[in-house]
Chain A
Amino acid sequence: MELKDTDLVARVIATDDRHAFAELVRRHQSALRGFLRRLTGGDTALADDLAQEACIEAYRSIRKYAGASGFSTWLLGIGYNRFRQYCRKRRETPVAEIPEEADAALPEFGAALDVREAVARLRGEERTALYLCYEQGLSHEEAAGVVGCPVGTLKTHILRAKQALRGVLAAYAARA
């Protein structure tokens, strides 16, 4: 029978079981690397480096994992912090420059609507909130835990993202 994540974590904590930790990494590497690829705009090498650092940090601080959220959510949170540290080190803000019309709906892209491009134009926090909630399927509470902000703030990010994407959503709905 396959062990649960919490059992594997318990083994790592109790006996420094590296096989158990390897199993945890194997299970969650795809979600973590995929999430970081989103954040880095598809830079696979950078995303994998950050993911590796996140896993090592997770190993070092695994005693802090309280089990309140899923291990995957906790790991994504570490990955997100790593990404923010990287941005700070590079003296870049983790969020894209806010376009002047950010609060307004994006112009419709017509038939050649590119969902990826539309989402890419969102602010960093909004894009991250969307990916966490709609792609990774996390609840608002879990997503807020990942990015380390209050649930209300996360909901605001999603609301703003929806407002910005309203035109795209309408065009998408009409096309579907």
Chain B
Amino acid sequence: MDKEDEILKKMLGEDEMPYLEDNGFTRAVMDSLPRRSSSTAIRRTLIVLGGALAGCAVFGALAWDGISSLAGETIRKLPELARSLEAGAVNPMIYVLVSLCTFLPIVFALRVKFR
């Protein structure tokens, strides 16, 4: 840095703009930001509703058709589960499956960022 640079830095330093307090500036900026896209909200809602409907459908299929439904067939492949079903016992795994069908899309919808 030559002498002129040093003097300039000192000169402008004396005239330096002090730190400006925020005084609500950030708040004003945040209030002016565009709202989140409504299509994103709609998509999220649809995924949650879709998940809930899928859960209901699985539950309904199992309740209506028992183990002959596709879901039931799949589950029947698991020996222990099949035994419980044949015995007529309500297997907690069904509820776990229904819960997963319902809640996984919710988690997905909340985490996924739509563009």
Binding site for B on A (CB under 8 A): 14-16, 18, 21-22, 25-26, 29-30, 33-35, 37-38, 48, 51-52, 55-56, 59-60, 115-116, 119, 130-131, 134-135, 162, 165-166, 168-169, 172-173, 176
Contact = CB atoms under 8 A, between A and B. Distances in A.
A172 B25 contact: no
Contacts of B78: none
A21 B26 CA distance: 10
Contacts of A38: 17
Q: For chain B, what secondary structure do more than half of its interface residues adopt (helix, strand, loop), or is it mixed? A: helix
A4 B10 CA distance: 30
Point out which of B8, B19, B25, B26 has the most chain A C-beta atoms below 10 A from its C-beta: B8
B25 A48 contact: yes
A64 B37 CA distance: 19
A116 B15 contact: yes
Contacts of B5: 134
B16 interface: yes
B9 interface: yes
Contact of A135 (B4, B17, B26): B17
Q: For chain A, what secondary structure do more than half of its interface residues adopt (helix, strand, loop), or is it mixed? A: helix
B26 A25 contact: yes
B29 A37 contact: no
B10 to A, nearest CB: 8
Contacts of A34: 17, 20
Contacts of B87: none
Given A116-B15, A134-B9, A60 B30 contact: no
Given A25-B29, A26-B26, A173 B3 contact: yes
Given A25-B26, A59-B33, A115-B11, 19 more contacts: A14-B113, A16-B36, A21-B30, A22-B30, A26-B26, A30-B21, A30-B22, A33-B20, A35-B17, A52-B29, A119-B12, A130-B8, A134-B12, A135-B12, A162-B4, A169-B7, A169-B8, A173-B7, A176-B10
B28 interface: yes
B32 interface: yes
Given A30-B20, A169-B4, A56 B11 contact: no
Contacts of A22: 26, 29-30
B34 A16 contact: no
Contacts of A21: 30, 33
Given A14-B113, A16-B113, A135 B13 contact: yes
B88 to A, nearest CB: 47
A52 B33 CA distance: 10
A14 B29 CA distance: 20
Contacts of A135: 12-13, 15-17
A115 B14 contact: yes
